């Protein structure tokens, strides 16, 4: 972090702390409503099940008032863990103790960093990777390695070379509609990676935040479901993208041998997750037809994605990207500009997206931006891309 | 943590992680309703402003639905920060950027550990001290020093000896109705300590979780309010004891020079606090007469405390304690028993409290227990103390 506060007393690890440009952008765009932001990973407000959430809050206050307003179990509200177990997981032999509810899956990344990573831990990450994972892991100062991504998942030869050469302790990945690359691992690669991780005894941290956002309604099986060694397998999920990020609720499947450590860290971090929100979520899931709800989101986001493609083709024919199978983003290559200049000039025109190097361990020359299509309405999206194109063409001509 | 999982891959710091017996007890007592628990720090259910909370949730869904269900500012919801600034702080020259809302003040302890503590940081703690601070700080492996507490605050001679002998970087304390000792620092000692900390350039972490729970309605000025060097002063507060712990909302006053680091760590930890709960709390504070509400809590807890004293005098005349000025606990010395044996036999009779050595860096021989009086009703309290007395007299006779 650039600073002139050289005399400030700080723990040594703070030199490794990364800020998130996304959060800074969010702050600016909240203050200035003329900004058109393609930066966040915000669900579309029209898709939040507001009526049912309202009903769930009423039920919570009528039937669970006392427990909703008290401290709760550090592992999370049991009924909610039970619903997560039944509805959102494809692993065998789990019980309620296998699941810990966290304050968004972001909190789990921090807990896993604290649990598993020190300066002697070797962590393998996809390149690019989720910025929030870099933020969560960095303060624990592990050695980080990166693995190239292809459209259907990691480069397996490179993976095997890394695993055979370096002792990798943990592999963090986001196999479905990856944030930010949007790449989705094929089932074949999921199986092959599971088998390689078993062979080399590597801990898997599988982040499934976007798992249910496939445009055609497909749900890919987890990598974890193909592993033999579930003792080395953590699976993270979240309600933020499919229900609402306002409640800050995610979950982690924790292998038996790690459970007491994970819980002890969760306690030290925040005692327990928001009990009120957990009970609201439990009521909501009991009343919501989740399949219909997910189908609605999937259809909506596919339409939004198609609209973004249409606008890019119309205004910015120079750019390239893979057409994703799901998720909330396009990962777009902008030739002939520099990241810094393009970003700065877009900010002047009140349009923003996230520069690709934010998602990398080591910056590269090629200019990518992550463009969110879930949040803006069609008119704003077109206007934003028009502004962006005008900035882009000003620079390259 | 005792374990036979010696082959488990863990970060080195996990050897320093402390579990909380309180959370384990909470789990047992939730499962078995026959347990009478003096262990937690739970507000009395009768004092939760449920009707107004219900109203606040309705307002949130009517007027702030979209923002309540989205991601928010990492520093917290602005209107709520503004109310905290106006109502709960006695420091000058603060602005909204001075305040960061955290997931309970427990989260702030973790953030401060990450920000300030590594194996070369010297941290001074009161003896005894808040268990949650030990849990939050330990994984960052600072060197911890302890300072004896007298009824009116720290032993000043000892404090000066420590400060002049060892380079102390941070001092964590809980000056009002301390958890667990219940001791409250006099105003004179607050001033003297502030001046010593200024003189030696020590960072103050002042935890004010119980500040508003004085039995006579007095609100002690913060130590921070007497400091010259506010650049080295963090002040923590919480809604858990005065409104409801279910929303997991606390706040920290962060000095200007540390703000960007604190926020970056908050982002990596969990992106942002629960937006829905923050907006509910904001509406609630706008509708609640906080003075009347606090007066009600203060009166209720004084009555509860008196009832506990009555029961102890009746059933356990052997024990000793200071009569506290406020808070939720008595800190009780039980002569002639061992902590372990007494605890174990109480569990058999389904009554629990927290053994004193949980709150200490280094265990001592004398047997103290922290007894909560805020939660149980009068009848259960008497029954619990009757059971406890029967166990105690069984052991000592």
B-chain residues within 8 Å CB-CB of A140? 11
Nearest Cβ partner for A274 among B5, B54, B277: B277
pLDDT reading at A149 higher than 90: yes
Residue labelled with tokens 């001509």: A397
Residues forming beta bridges with residue A123, ordered by sequence position:
A144, A170
Note whether B11 contacts A121, CB cutoff 8 Å: yes
Note whether B45 contacts A69, CB cutoff 8 Å: yes
Q: Which CATH architecture has domain A71-287?
A: 3-Layer(aba) Sandwich (3.40)
Note whether B274 contacts A277, CB cutoff 8 Å: yes
Q: Where in chain A is the domain with CATH 3.90.1150.10?
A: 12-48+291-396
Q: Closest Cα of chain A to B315: distance in Å? A: 30
The pLDDT of residue A106: 97
pLDDT reading at B86 higher than 50: yes
Note whether B70 contacts A277, CB cutoff 8 Å: no
Provide the 8-state DSSP code for B143. E
CATH class of B70-287: alpha beta
Residues B49/B287, Cβ–Cβ less than 8 Å: no
The pLDDT of residue A97: 96
pLDDT reading at B281 higher than 90: yes
pLDDT reading at B58 higher than 80: yes
State chain B's mean pLDDT as an integer. Answer: 94
Residues A353/A372, Cβ–Cβ less than 8 Å: yes
Among all residues of chain A, which has the CA nearest to that of B169? Answer: A9
Residue labelled with tokens 């389904």: B350
> In 3D, which of A217, A210, A378 has the Cα closest to residue A293?
A217
pLDDT in tens, B308-339: 999 999 999 999 999 999 999 999 999 999 99
- For residue B58 the two structure tokens come to 């309705």
The pLDDT of residue A25: 78
The pLDDT of residue B25: 77
Which three-class secondary structure state does DSSP give residue B386? helix
How far apart (Å, rounded) are the C-alpha atoms in residues B126 and B156? 12
- The stretch B350-359 carries a mean pLDDT of 94
Note whether B69 contacts A246, CB cutoff 8 Å: yes
Q: Closest Cα of chain A to B346: distance in Å? A: 22
pLDDT in tens, A155-168: 999 999 999 999 99
Q: Closest Cα of chain A to B320: distance in Å? A: 29
B-chain residues within 8 Å CB-CB of A265? 17, 139
How far apart (Å, rounded) are the C-alpha atoms in residues B314 and B389? 10
Residues forming beta bridges with residue A250, ordered by sequence position:
A102, A238
Note whether B265 contacts A5, CB cutoff 8 Å: no
B-chain residues within 8 Å CB-CB of A53? 61, 69
Mutation choice for A interface testing from B62, B200, B276 by most A CBs within 10 A? B276
Among all residues of chain B, which has the CA nearest to that of A106? Answer: B270
Among all residues of chain B, which has the CA nearest to that of A117? Answer: B11
Q: Where in chain A is the domain with CATH 3.40.640.10?
A: 71-287
Distant-in-sequence, close-in-space partners of A264: CB < 8 Å, separation ≥ 6: B1, B17, B18, B19, B20, B135
Note whether B54 contacts A40, CB cutoff 8 Å: no
Note whether A110 contacts B270, CB cutoff 8 Å: yes
Q: Closest Cα of chain A to B88: distance in Å? A: 21
Note whether A42 contacts B70, CB cutoff 8 Å: yes
Note whether B42 contacts A72, CB cutoff 8 Å: no
Cis peptide upstream of residue A180 (ω within 30 degrees of 0): yes
- Taking one residue from A and the other from B, the number of pairs with CB-CB distance under 8 angstroms is 244
The pLDDT of residue B1: 45
Helices A275-287 and A78-87: angle between axes, nearest 10 degrees: 40
Note whether A50 contacts B40, CB cutoff 8 Å: no
Residues A128/A359, Cβ–Cβ less than 8 Å: yes
Task: Place B26 in a pLDDT band, splitting at 50, 70 and 90.
Answer: confident
CA B341, B346, B349, B350 torsion-angle sign? negative
DSSP string spanning A82-149?
A: HHHHHHS---SS--GGGEEEEEHHHHHHHHHHHHH-STT-EEEEEES--HHHHHHHGGG--EEEEEEE
A-chain residues within 8 Å CB-CB of B74? 23, 27
Among all residues of chain B, which has the CA nearest to that of A231? Answer: B8
Among all residues of chain B, which has the CA nearest to that of A141? Answer: B11
Q: Which residue has the higher pLDDT, B3 or B323?
A: B323
State chain A's mean pLDDT as an integer. Answer: 94
Neighbour-count burial for B201-210, b at 16+ CB within 10 Å, e otherwise:
ebbbbbbbbb
Among all residues of chain B, which has the CA nearest to that of A109? Answer: B269
pLDDT reading at A173 higher than 90: yes
How far apart (Å, rounded) are the C-alpha atoms in residues A126 and A153? 9
Note whether A17 contacts B260, CB cutoff 8 Å: no
Note whether A57 contacts B53, CB cutoff 8 Å: no
Note whether B17 contacts A106, CB cutoff 8 Å: no
- The stretch A259-275 carries a mean pLDDT of 95
Among all residues of chain A, which has the CA nearest to that of B68? Answer: A246
Note whether B9 contacts A203, CB cutoff 8 Å: yes
Q: Determine which helix (DSSP H) or strand (DSSP E) holds B211, and give its type and residue range.
A: none
pLDDT in tens, A105-115: 999 999 999 99
- The stretch A327-342 carries a mean pLDDT of 96
B-chain residues within 8 Å CB-CB of A135? 264, 267-268
Cis peptide upstream of residue A128 (ω within 30 degrees of 0): yes
- For residue A331 the two structure tokens come to 């990962």
The pLDDT > 90 percentage for chain A reads 90
Task: Place A275 in a pLDDT band, splitting at 50, 70 and 90.
Answer: very high
Q: Which residue has the higher pLDDT, B97 or B21?
A: B97
The pLDDT of residue A1: 45
- The stretch A50-68 carries a mean pLDDT of 93
Nearest Cβ partner for B139 among A263, A268, A270: A268
Task: Place B5 in a pLDDT band, splitting at 50, 70 and 90.
Answer: very low
Among all residues of chain A, which has the CA nearest to that of B113? Answer: A11
The pLDDT of residue B268: 95
Note whether B11 contacts A114, CB cutoff 8 Å: yes
pLDDT reading at B304 higher than 90: yes
How far apart (Å, rounded) are the C-alpha atoms in residues A314 and B263? 40
Q: Closest Cα of chain A to B359: distance in Å? A: 14
Q: Which residue has the higher pLDDT, B127 or A92?
A: B127
Among all residues of chain B, which has the CA nearest to that of A19? Answer: B264
Is B12-48+291-396 a domain of CATH 3.90.1150.10?
yes
Q: Closest Cα of chain B to A115: distance in Å? A: 6
pLDDT reading at A5 higher than 50: no
The pLDDT > 70 percentage for chain A reads 98
pLDDT in tens, B182-214: 999 999 999 999 999 999 999 999 999 999 999
Q: Closest Cα of chain A to B28: distance in Å? A: 10
Note whether A74 contacts B23, CB cutoff 8 Å: yes
Among all residues of chain A, which has the CA nearest to that of B263? Answer: A19
Write the ipTM: 0.94
Q: Closest Cα of chain B to A324: distance in Å? A: 24
């Amino acid at each position: 972090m650039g600073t002139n506060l050289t005399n400030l007393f700080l723990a040594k690890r703070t030199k490794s702390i990364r800020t998130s440009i996304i959060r800074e952008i969010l702050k600016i765009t909240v203050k200035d409503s003329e900004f058109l932001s393609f930066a966040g990973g915000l669900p579309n407000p029209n898709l939040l099940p507001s009526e049912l959430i309202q009903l769930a809050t009423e039920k919570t206050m009528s039937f669970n008032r006392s427990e909703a307003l008290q401290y709760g179990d550090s592992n999370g509200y049991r009924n909610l863990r039970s619903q997560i177990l039944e509805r959102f997981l494809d692993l065998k032999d789990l019980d309620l103790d296998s699941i810990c509810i966290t304050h968004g899956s972001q909190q789990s990344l921090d807990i896993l960093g604290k649990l598993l990573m020190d300066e002697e831990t070797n962590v393998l990450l996809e390149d690019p990777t989720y910025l929030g994972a870099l933020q969560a892991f960095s303060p624990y100062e592990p050695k980080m390695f990166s693995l190239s991504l292809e459209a259907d998942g990691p480069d397996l030869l490179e993976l095997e070379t890394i695993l055979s050469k370096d002792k990798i302790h943990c592999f963090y990945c986001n196999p479905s509609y990856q944030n930010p690359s949007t790449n989705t691992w094929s089932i074949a690669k999921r199986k092959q990676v599971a088998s390689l991780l078993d062979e080399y005894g590597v801990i898997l941290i599988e982040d499934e935040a976007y798992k249910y956002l496939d445009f055609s309604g497909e749900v890919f099986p987890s990598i974890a479901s193909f592993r033999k060694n579930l003792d080395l397998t953590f699976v993270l999920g979240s309600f933020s993208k499919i229900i609402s990020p306002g409640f800050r609720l995610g979950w982690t499947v924790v292998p038996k041998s790690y459970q007491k450590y994970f819980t002890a860290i969760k306690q030290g971090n925040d005692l327990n997750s928001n009990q009120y929100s957990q009970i609201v979520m439990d009521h909501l899931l009991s009343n919501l037809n989740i399949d219909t709800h997910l189908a609605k989101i999937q259809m909506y986001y596919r339409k939004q994605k198609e609209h973004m493609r249409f606008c890019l083709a119309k205004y910015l024919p120079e750019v390239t990207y893979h057409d994703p199978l799901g998720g909330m983003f396009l990962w777009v290559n902008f030739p002939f500009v520099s990241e810094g200049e393009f970003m700065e000039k877009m900010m002047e025109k009140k349009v923003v997206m996230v520069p690709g190097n934010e998602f990398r361990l080591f910056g590269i020359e090629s200019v990518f931006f992550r463009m969110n299509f879930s949040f803006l309405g069609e008119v704003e999206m077109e206007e934003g891309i028009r502004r962006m194109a005008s900035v882009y063409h000003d620079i390259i001509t």
